[in-house]
Structure 1
Amino acid sequence: MSAVLVEQSTPDRVRRQAQLTTTLIATVIFLTAIAPLATDMYVPAFPEVADDLSSTATQVQLTLTTFFVGMALGQLIGGPVSDQYGRRRLLLASVAVMAVASVVCALTPSIGVMMAARFVQGFAGGWAMVIGRAVIVDLARGAQLVRVLNVIAGVGGIAPIAGPLLGAAILQLSGWRMSFWAVAALGVAMVAAVLIAVPESLPPHRRHGGGLRAFAVAGRQVLARRRYVGYVLVSGSGMGAIFAYVATSAFVLQSMNGMSPVAYSVDFAANAAGMTLAALVAARLAGRVATRKVILAGQVAALGAGVAMLVGALWFGTPLLLVIVCFFVLMTAQGLIGPNGGALASAEVPEHPGTGSAMLGFVTWVAAGVIAPIAGLGGQDTAVPMALLMIGCTVLSVAGLVLARPAKAASTASH
């Protein structure tokens, strides 16, 4: 299939043969699930990891940080490199490296080796995610692009629900190392899925020259697009709000309100399900309702949840019912904000899909890595820092939407 595509002389003929099939979309969803699975599956085992590797809790938490740093850098570099050399071979290589790094994590003799392996795992996983997204951008346009990316985000939202539950089940039946063996097995399955379902979507005549200079030129061209930068801010700020919730929700619900671990897991799953459902609804609305209006609706809801959380934290002792409602509204709103913002960002730079996806992924995961520790600065007895971050991130997201406003003459139904 890929050999035939290379011989084609026009983008239209390439698109007709490298089709956006259901199997291809399912494979990209599989690729996007690796980050939450590789993270959430072993989070319940943190105390056991610390004991087994004779390390501190802080050192174990740093394995998350190195993973996020690797994920951000992998997306930043993987996109432009795939713009130069094509998608399929690099995608196969990245998934294989991720599987090998998972095996190293499973066999690690020390926390230092695990940190390094987690960095490589994140780097390869980020590389795979951004190339998978670039394949979609190669083959879809307009409302179809928005629809498909929302479906990917919506169905992919199952991973954050399943990850902690699967990790806890594995921990009950075996040790923490089995979680990484499971991720390695998923990596092998991903290699097979890419071989079967993903064609080469970027033939030689559509590729860009390589080198740092070419990357810098492409980066400048992408960042010069005001609307692209605005939509990246929309999506990245939404991710910041999500990780403000992820980093502190256990303390707010369990430590401050006495919720049991089982009840917390159910609530966490319900919030992730709300985000997934919202993303799927947004996919159905693509081409029917202006995407910017859908984003704005999500931003208004998220801002309301943040303000209500702050009021409750400052004056009413952070009551449980208010927290549950605010968390659900916040996470559901992100299903309307993040995927749509990312889709519109990609649509602004069709000539540099890899670089555009790389910048978007880099900003998204940097936001995750930066916001998570900031949210916990107040300790486990206050929700004020988290509420302020929820508000601040949403305000930045609104500012991004304003920055990305289209000129009146260029307005389209998708914007």
Structure 2
Amino acid sequence: MQQAPLPPDVSWAAPPLRTSRRQARLTVGLVATVVFLTAIAPLATDMYVPAFPQVAGDLSTTATQVQLTLTTFFVGMALGQLIGGPVSDQRGRRIPLLAALAIMTVASIVCALAPTIEVMTVARFVQGFAGGWAMVIGRAVVVDVARGAQLVRVLNIIAGVGGLAPIVGPLVGGLILQLSSWRVSFWLVAVLGVAMTVTTLIAVPETLPREHRHAGGLRSFVGAGRTVLGNREYVGYLVVAGAAMGALFAYVATSAFVLQTMNGLSPIAYSIDFAANAAGMTAAALIAARLAGRVSTRKLILTGQIAALAAGIALLVGALWLGTPLPLALVSFFVLMTAQGLMIPNGGALASAAVPEHPGTGSALQGFVQWVAAGTIAPIAGLGGDHTAVPMAVLVTAGAVVSMAGLLAAARAARGSSGWMPEEKCSPGSDGIGSLCR
């Protein structure tokens, strides 16, 4: 995979806000490692989903039980991020990250060797838990060493380059099924776990000095969570990204039925369309990264929300009265996915910027909300069966509306204004690197 070029105006030195952090630098290697960490969830999911029928046959189980392994993975991802962030605020970043990668690698090996669906289900939960733990620490590392426009830019780069995983995952999974067994996909994830451990040892220093760590214990965790959730600006952006994530997984859960079952698209054509939509999301995130510090981040989010709302309304009209024709579905899905590239990473970046004193807890709650939304919305979107797109269209439309409400709440909290979008100003960043246009 070729690495996307980095913006020429990015200074890769960590902002000298605290003397003890001067040695922690935001290097290309560190960013590449965090991209690697964020790719584990889509790779572990998208390589595996095409093999559901083969898994059911090999393990002598039902399709529902196989689908449950996906749900337990999402639950593990959510809990891993919720717990991993605060633990890293207490213990530091590097050691907990390495531990999570080791556990994820072992769980992937157990999945590859699983003799029964019960073993597979438990191993998938552990795999998701450790993967979520690693992902949230990766984001916290970036928040430790970046500020202002640099933070927004880097998180968009991570989301954009990491967005290649949903493109590559299904293609690699399909190739594996053509050449070998579904178990090979889990062996591949285990190999990637070893590779991530090595790159972490080489490229990721400890970014949270002991003097800036929070005391441990349940009371500290609850206190930090209460502080973060008491920040109305943070909560608003949390809703922005969480609602967008729900709409995204409404698409992921139902697009195969809409395009293949209802419209007769071949599996190969569906994979190509899925990859094209993921590419649109990646391109949008990279464009947003280039615009960080020059264009209001809230305006970029609003642009994505308007596009997502338009796509949702088009899908709803098509589902209710037109039978969801293929051209309408293809265009609407592409617009919806591209819009997520403006909404999810930017919403997450502004949420992190709102609570710099608790980066681990803030990142943990973001990950928890987003993956709970994914795990909850995905099965709801399919309640109507495989011959209607109405539930999916309703969820996509509702997701855009709720995301807009979150942006309004965040804007009001940040500016103290009663208007929809208060006047935007790019204030100079305190890090001396650039401005953050909220």
Q: TM-score range by the shorter chain?
A: over 0.9
TM-score, normalized by length of structure 1? 0.96
Looking at secondary structure, tell me which structure has more helix per residue. 1
Aligned residues: 406
Instruction: List per-residue Cα deviations over 1:119-143 (Å, max 9, x = no partner).
Output: 0000000000000000000000010
Residue of 156, 161, 180 corresponding to 1:150 = 156
Which position in structure 2 is the counterpart of 1:351?
357
Runs of 4+ in 1 over 4 A off after TM superposition: 408-412
Q: Distance in 1 between matches of 2:356 and 2:323?
A: 49
Q: Distance in 2 between matches of 1:222 and 1:154?
A: 27
SS in 1 for 2:22: helix
1:161 aligns with 2:167: yes
Shift of 1:313: 1.2
1:407 aligns with 2:411: no
Residue of 187, 205, 208 corresponding to 1:199 = 205
Q: Contact (CA 8 Å) 1:295, 1:336: kept in 2 or not? A: yes
Which position in structure 1 is the counterpart of 2:44?
38
Alignment of 1:119-134 (within 5 A): 119-134=125-140
Q: Distance in 2 between matches of 1:386 and 1:26?
A: 34
Corresponding letter in the other structure for 1:363: V
Instruction: List per-residue Cα deviations over 1:356-405 (Å, max 9, x = no partner).
Output: 00000000000000000000000111111111000001101000001101
Residue of 174, 181, 186 corresponding to 2:187 = 181
Shift of 1:172: 1.0
Corresponding letter in the other structure for 2:38: T
Which position in structure 2 is the counterpart of 1:277?
283
Q: Contact (CA 8 Å) 1:98, 1:121: kept in 2 or not? A: yes
SS in 2 for 1:402: helix
Q: Distance in 2 between matches of 1:104 and 1:394?
A: 39
Shift of 1:73: 0.1
Which position in structure 2 is the counterpart of 1:309?
315
Which position in structure 2 is the counterpart of 1:171?
177
Alignment of 1:211-226 (within 5 A): 211-226=217-232
1:300 aligns with 2:288: no
Instruction: List per-residue Cα deviations over 1:237-258 (Å, max 9, x = no partner).
Output: 1100100000000000001111
Instruction: List per-residue Cα deviations over 1:311-342 (Å, max 9, x = no partner).
Output: 11111121110100000000000000000000
Alignment of 1:89-104 (within 5 A): 89-104=95-110
1:115 aligns with 2:121: yes
Q: Distance in 2 between matches of 1:11 and 1:86?
A: 18
Shift of 1:15: 3.2
Q: Distance in 2 between matches of 1:407 and 1:322?
A: 39
Q: Distance in 1 between matches of 2:212 and 2:17?
A: 8
Q: Distance in 2 between matches of 1:411 and 1:249?
A: 37
Alignment of 1:221-370 (within 5 A): 221-370=227-376
Instruction: List per-residue Cα deviations over 1:120-178 (Å, max 9, x = no partner).
Output: 00000000000000000000001000000000000000000100110110111110111
Shift of 1:412: 4.6
Which position in structure 2 is the counterpart of 1:70?
76
Q: Distance in 1 between matches of 2:23 and 2:292?
A: 25
Which position in structure 2 is the counterpart of 1:7?
none
Q: Contact (CA 8 Å) 2:83, 2:133: kept in 1 or not? A: yes
SS in 2 for 1:404: helix
| Identical counterparts, % of pairs | 73
SS in 1 for 2:115: coil
Shift of 1:11: 5.4
1:51 aligns with 2:70: no
Q: Distance in 2 between matches of 1:323 and 1:14?
A: 53
Shift of 1:13: 2.8
Which position in structure 1 is the counterpart of 2:403?
397
Show structure 1 runs of 5+ residues with no match.
1-9
Q: Distance in 2 between matches of 1:92 and 1:250?
A: 36
Q: Contact (CA 8 Å) 1:14, 1:201: kept in 2 or not? A: no
Instruction: List per-residue Cα deviations over 1:296-324 (Å, max 9, x = no partner).
Output: 00000000000011111111121110100
Q: Distance in 1 between matches of 2:25 and 2:425?
A: 25
Which position in structure 2 is the counterpart of 1:3?
none
Q: Distance in 2 between matches of 1:412 and 1:76?
A: 33
